[in-house]
Amino acid sequence: MFTGIHVENFLSLRSVTIELGKVNIFIGPNASGKSNIAKIFRLLAKHAREGVPVLEGYASLRDLSFNFDPTVSIYIGLGALIRYRKYTYGLEFNKEKYLEQIFARDQLVISYEGGTGVLRTKDGSSHFSLGEAYYYDKVVVNKSILLALPANIEAEIRELASCLRRISVHSFAPDALRLKNSVTEKPFLKYHGEKFGSLSSLPLYREAKRFWANRRNVTEHDSRSRGDYTTYRGSRC
């Protein structure tokens, strides 16, 4: 479970720390930063899945920086409780590179520099690369260590990486929710609520399929039983 988040220099958030629980509700006036908090989680999820800390709709890091300052570094720190141990995933990035770090009980376990590909663990440092990708302003960087953690890394850190990949963020829009969907489409809920209809009706659709499958099996069984009886009766004549 995620326990808290700290962010610096991200969009309208200069320096913000938020405690997180199982359910979190953000209330405030327009332009107070609620949607920017959601964008933090979108960025983390995309980074964990695809390996680069970029956010759709922002071609330049300047557009993501507080006060549109291209010289600052953006920092995101996300705390998590995994198997009763405290972990923190830290991501710092500027216009040239990014740095990600994982702490276990405030002790650094992994440090990875996306620009140079240098990986540091308690066993020492080495060069590690999973391939390159385009970063902001068409800068090329190495993909995140989250995509393939070293073999000797503890299971809790692998679970942390999995939790980051499973983050799902949505901002429902009425027009998107009203779109027609087919129950046969892949039930993947998009950011503004597209495919909500197919996802919400999926349990009913699956239950109906099971019902008709069971009914068909019963019908076939009855047909075979009647056929056997007819054959038996005919053999007696």
Assess contact for 152 and 123: CB atoms under 8 A: yes
Evaluate whether residue 214 is within a structural domain: no
In the prediction, which pLDDT does 65 show? 94
Count of Cβ atoms closer than 10 Å to residue 213 Cβ: 10
In the prediction, which pLDDT does 229 show? 42
In the prediction, which pLDDT does 188 show? 62
What CATH number corresponds to the domain at position 18?
3.40.50
Evaluate whether residue 216 is within a structural domain: no
Rounded Cα distance between 234 and 7, Å, is 83
In the prediction, which pLDDT does 64 show? 92
Count: domains in the chain: 1
In the prediction, which pLDDT does 129 show? 81
**Residue ranges of the chain with per-residue pLDDT less than 70:** 172-173, 176-209, 211-212, 215-237
Evaluate whether residue 198 is within a structural domain: no
Evaluate whether residue 159 is within a structural domain: yes
What is the residue range of 81's domain? Answer: 2-165
| DSSP line for 159-225 | HHHHHHHT-------HHHHTS---TTS-----TT-TTHHHHHTHHHHHHHHHHHHHHHHHHHHHHHH
In the prediction, which pLDDT does 233 show? 42
In the prediction, which pLDDT does 237 show? 36
In the prediction, which pLDDT does 224 show? 55
Evaluate whether residue 36 is within a structural domain: yes
In the prediction, which pLDDT does 223 show? 53
